[in-house]
Structure 1
């Protein structure tokens, strides 16, 4: 666990953060895209989001630098966020307006979404495989979830109980958005093993299993991860 002094430093740095006007272009895993409109913070949750830039920067891998940007895509009302790089090769997290405005969104849950995106940037292997067969810079979805609770949420100062609560909320929200009638539970883990590491999002139950495994530093669940591929 992180020392209390480090957590206090993050709080102070967040309070001192000067909010920058976000950039307008970035690169995705599969190519270029244009964000049609991003804005300055315009409500309390927006301001909180922008204030997380410095704290999240400290979770970045050293080779990614120290210029993490967080922006809002006002034109996308879907509940989503994604990690990429801007046109100066700085790591960039884009959060859709739909995620911030969702009725169940809280600061704590937003942090878990942000930590998932940080997992794409700093989560390590296994990595996504591009369409041309080469490895991407981005960790796969399952690894991003694992990093979120094993490293990032702890670094932001959350207790194990808080992380567990947000993990259940996170997985349940995703299940509801996908129209699942059965919500994921701690005591009903997925029982199947994948033959190849998933390149896509695992099931909501598998994602909860992964978040809990990361929190408790347990092996990555085989509902998305095949350890033989890393040998």
Structure 2
């Protein structure tokens, strides 16, 4: 065989391999999960299996699929919810596989005593937020950063999820709603919008209590004790426990229409900013560094009469060390 023929064959093979590589879906995994890294596992039927039933878990996933499947399809993508009910992992995550917008929802987290259906909806919304939450993003990546995914969950996603009457039967966290009711009443004129705000804020309170115990922290996160930290540069990872609660709370209080899309590049679009005339509903400065045009004021925390959230039986159970061994 002549060298010329060999060269032609080799060239054709290389061209074919390059074509396959370019056409194959690019998988980009978001390494950080919803929760900080942990070794906790809650198998089906274990002593720690005190959270959602499979039927309750599936109802939440069905609602998320019904709402965000068409929205992602309109962008040329496909929402894939990996319903990993049998997996004991206590976490959730997101990844992008070509045009597939993937969220991984582990059964171990759903089975945790602190998780209600409203809380599980917030977790799913956080993962959706990595895909659709817009700016700010992880540097040079497809995913919205952790703080923005939290903000998007309450700013946009939970409003859509809870808008359906079928979610009225979802299990919800218990606790003192008075601070949230007062603040939400000031942000929203319509009672229905105010009720959605309160419900979203309380979902944030419930999962924040989970963060606190996982991190073995003493301070109880509250709506009226905002994190005083002011970052000098954007923090893209998981914010502190109080900071995450502040983010959920402010996302709930933001009166921007939930149907108004956010932007992939401009964090002011669809969000509450001082430049836009808002004094509440702003992203907290404990993780967010606003661009100069947006104004650098601190988000109001709607501080009112100090009333801590009353511990529910599920949250009291969280204080038991055996539940968290290995973390």
Q: CA deviation at 1:62?
A: 4.3
- 2:221 maps to 184
- 1:59 deviation in Å? 4.9
Match of 2:239 in 1: 202
Q: Which of 122, 139, 147 is matched with 2:144 structurally?
A: 139
Checking the alignment, whether the CA contact within 8 Å between 1:128 and 1:199 is kept in structure 2 is yes
Task: Show the 5 A alignment for 1:6-17.
Answer: none
Instruction: Determine whether 1:101 maps to 2:138.
Output: no
- Inter-partner Cα distance in structure 2 for 1:199 and 1:60: 24
Of residues 93, 96, 100, the one that matches 1:85 is 96
Q: 2:13 aligns to what?
A: none
Classify 1:84/1:229 alpha carbon distance in 2 versus 1 (closer, same or farther; 3 Å).
farther
2:71 is aligned with 1:70: no
Q: Which residue of 2 aligns with 1:220?
A: 283
In the alignment, structure 1 segments of 5+ residues that lack a partner are 1-24, 31-41, 130-134
Q: TM-score, normalised by structure 1?
A: 0.74
Which residue number corresponds to residue 57 of structure 1? 69
Q: Is the contact made by 1:64 and 1:91 (CA closer than 8 Å) also made in structure 2?
A: no
- Contact 2:198/2:252 (CA < 8 Å) preserved in 1? no
Q: Distance in 2 between matches of 1:200 and 1:50?
A: 26
SS class of match (1:93): strand
Aligned to 1:163: 200
Contact 1:126–1:140 (Cα < 8 Å) also in 2: yes
For 1:229 and 1:203, how far apart are their aligned partners in 2? 25
Cα 1:77–1:178 shift into 2, 3 Å: farther
SS at match of 2:143: strand
The whole-number CA distance in structure 2 between the counterparts of 1:26 and 1:188 is 40
The answer to whether 1:111 aligns with 2:121 is: yes
Structure number with bigger Rg: 2
C-alpha distance in structure 2 between counterparts of 1:59 and 1:198, whole Å: 28
| 2:29 aligned residue | 28
Gaps of 5+ in 2: 1-25, 32-52, 164-195, 255-280, 295-327
Secondary structure of the 2:249 match is helix
Aligned to 2:305: none
Q: State the match for 2:153 in structure 1.
A: 148
Residues 64 and 185 (structure 1), Cα distance of their counterparts in 2 relative to 1, 3 Å cut: farther
Structure 1 stretch displaced more, 142-151 or 93-102: 93-102
Q: Secondary structure at the match of 2:162?
A: coil
Structure 2 SS opposite 1:137: coil
Task: Report if aligned partners of 2:89, 2:109 keep a CA contact under 8 Å in 1.
Answer: yes
CA distance in 2, matches of 1:168, 1:29: 25
Alpha-carbon offset, residue 45 of structure 1: 3.0
More strand by share: 1
Q: CA RMSD in A?
A: 2.4
